[in-house]
Amino acid sequence: MEKLVGSALPVFAMSHGGAHRLSAQNGALALEVSDASTVGKRFLFVFACLTAGELGPAAAESGATWWGYTGAISAPSHDEPTIDVFVGIFEMIADRFAKASTTADRLRLIEDVAERCIHFSNALGDTAPADAYLCLLHLWQRLRVWVPDSADPERHPLAPPPIIML
């Protein structure tokens, strides 16, 4: 097993969020900007709307590497034939995000996510529900990685700028 980078165990979360908060089960508060400094030098992947807005930079200020999303994101489809597609993509992310300690490592993972999403969007043809295509697009286009001592998040080079009005 590869050694994980950072001083604390990584966090992989899939939930609801906002620019200032990450929600826990049943809408309870899991983390907000005012306590983002408590995450320390941890690697976090947070699949939740808007969490790359203010929460990501606040966590990065405390030494964290924050993988979050700008704008609203569509939930992964759990219908056939797409469930296995999403499981595979999220397993890849879970296996690699906490080991991506350099800009090159992070950009390679972002590129790999984009390649898989584009491949599966094309391969699914007309067989998948529309929300599956939207999620595949959001997975890579809205992904932002905030790292300590950076004024801007890392992202795929073809990712559009954040959507301001949500």
List, for residues 83-120, the tens digit of each pLDDT value. Answer: 889 999 999 999 999 999 999 999 999 999 999 999 99
Asked whether residue 86 is domain-assigned, the answer is: yes
3-class DSSP state for residue 153? coil
Nearest to 46 by CA among 82, 19, 7: 19
102 close to 110: Cβ distance less than 8 angstroms: no
Range of the domain at 96: 11-146
Gap between the terminal Cα atoms of the chain: 41
> pTM for the complete prediction?
0.91
Distance from C-alpha of 30 to C-alpha of 37, rounded to nearest angstrom = 13
| Domains of the chain: total | 1
6 domain-assigned: no
